Structure 1
Amino acid sequence: MKCSIYVFIIFLGSVLSCKSDHKEEESTNRIVSLSGAISETLAALEMSDQVVGVDVTSTFPESLKLTAQDLGHVRNITVEPILALRPTLVLGLRDDLNPDVTKQLQDAGVRVELLDQQYSVEGAKGLVRAVAEIVGSQKAEAVNARIQEDLERLQNINKKLKVLFIYARGAGTLMVAGEKTSFSAMVSLADAQNAVTGFEDFKPLSPEALLQSNPDVILMFHSGLASIGGVEGLMAVPGISQTTAGKNKAIISMDGGLISHFGPRTGEAVLALNKALIPFDKP
């Protein structure tokens, strides 16, 4: 009799354990993140293990590329590769994801949450809070506190340096960032100013525009500078050597995701740019 009771207890424990494991499995998200900023946020909220798919801009942390499927560029993504990952949640930015793809995902029963992004400190903090609320994390304010801590370490730049961001993909594709871009906002937060005004988004780089803006500093992605042959390749671009930045070799290159995503690393990015600008703060 005692043996039977003992066996029954073991059986009951096994059943309850299976139910608990099943419940835990059901409560775990399978997240597809179609934004580098959102992917960084999920990592900062310690939810990387729930991410099964990412877009090409999700470069940080690097471990995501090892554990999540790379789905390519968000603007070219189709619904089939996403559905193949059996997602319970798809996160993206409102202006990026094709509305047809959004509808197809929703029709398939997948929860889709599209967020707005603002290129500001409050916008970055708001993105963190929004993602945390969607995934049920309580860590948003701790992440945002780290953003603020970095910003409080900024140094004042006496001269209002004019910074020109150049996007490069080889010598044949050179664009400059105008107003209302993430780069213009990043430069302003770092206590400098965008060297070009009068237009929004991006425009092709021209020798005339270079001479007119005459930047004190040129800012580029690491990858962009490498694509044109480094500093020497940049100096060979018509007009560059005639600018103040060119004459002083005032060239700064930084990680693309760090300075463009406006996610949980915003404070880190602003601080890094601010520190890089300090040596060029001369009378």
Structure 2
Amino acid sequence: MSGPGATLVIGATGTTGRRVVAGLVAEGHQVTAAGRRATPVPGARAVRFDWDEPETHGGALAGNSRVYLVPPVGASHPEAVMLPFLRQARAAGVRRAVLLSSSAIPAGGPAAGRVHQALPGLFEEWAVLRPSWFMQNFTGSHSHARTIREDGVILTAAGDGRVGFVDAADIAAVAVRAVADVRAPCADLVLTGPQALSHDDVAAIITEVTGRPVTHRRLTFERFRDHLTAEVPLEYAGMLAEMDHAIAAGAEDRTTDTVRRITGRPPRSLRTVVEEEAARSR
């Protein structure tokens, strides 16, 4: 690692961010936990940070030499705010940046893909985490989890396509290593779970574990896009629906050894994650 300093974790109370903070704190690292409300986080210094409020950026960066980047939620063009911030970060002494992107988005692609493309030119020490779709989409506050709870259905335009769904805890474990290890990955890391599953498979696992019938309902591109617009802007909803079409064509039907290679342990299964969530809900 180049130079002393703490790690700025953006989105510190989010799905991966809170797990990254906890992992770094557990290893004794100094952490600056950034969020729109500066929510107190055990073991970390909480600061206010909002992508859309540049006046919050300088204070959040102070004293940090590393940064874990979660792009602004629902933004189709996050590079507009992220690239100026990253230039400011470099000038402020940040030497390593770890970006959370997606397995569906290559360097130079839409959304975080443009930030991914620029990252190696901004920092000598870097990594881009490209996880497959989160297992927590079926257990947290995501629209899939909501329709499962309310209607017993998973709505997609993914057809029979399979996905290497990955646990957010495994993503965070890789992120901790990418941020904290002496040598930066300086690589594009595709993260998956242990097996590729269709949404029919997911519905069957949730049904078996919870005892509540859950089915997968196939939607057209247009109907799925329109369903998503209840939560995100139309352009972003269209991008997500396109990703489901790509899943249907086999784009996410793969697994990688990245979690095991980086963390030294195998990735967790969807059944394990659903069992743990069901136990917490009892």
Does the TM-score normalized on the shorter chain lie above 0.5? no
After TM superposition, the score normalised by the length of structure 2 is: 0.39
> Which is higher, the Rg of structure 1 or of structure 2?
1
After TM superposition, the score normalised by the length of structure 1 is: 0.39
